[in-house]
Amino acid sequence: MLMDNFILAQIFGVLASAAFIISVQFKQKVKILVALIINTILLVISLALLGAWSGVTTNLVTLLPALYVYYCCEKHRKISPAMALPFLAVLLVAWAFVFSSIYDILALIGSTFYVISLFQKRENTIRQLLIGNQVAWAFYFLVSGLYTSLVFGVCFIISDAVALHRFRHKKHHARALHHWWKHIAPKF
């Protein structure tokens, strides 16, 4: 039965990682949030199967601000980074109740990056904070035995870097193409 839980945890870890990797490829915040919420639910399941309770607890708590921000985005309500503070306080209290080893600090650090990222307006800022989130979680996954998520964590960092590059330079490339078309193409 223990081996079955380990295998199931790895499967849910792959699915969670796929949702996380996909999240940063979206341009709209609502789509990013949906993918992150799916990731969090799948990650809770995989960590519960491994008995990694600080990871389960911190991820469950991060669902609250994720759902709140999603609701605000859907209703076109403004959010500010300061609104993350009550959620961070709840996260810290919940984490303190399940703290059992020094490695549990990694779950807190990763979840803190995650919650702060949720309350950002710019999608690129979200992507940058999620790199910090993923680095902390990668070490936690290593310690807790969620090896598939560790491997996909590296894939996420690469995917996030590609998304940051792609969205950051999209305007530049559009301007360059327009310049080429306007000034060079008519000569042919």
**Do the beta carbons of residue 21 and residue 152 sit within 8 Å?**
yes
* pTM tops 0.85: no
Q: Model confidence over 13-36: pLDDT tens digits? A: 999 988 988 887 788 889 989 999
10-residue stretch averages of pLDDT, the chain, 188 residues long:
84 91 83 93 95 94 96 93 96 95 94 95 85 91 87 81 76 57 54
Q: Which residue's entry shows tokens 């403004």?
A: 78
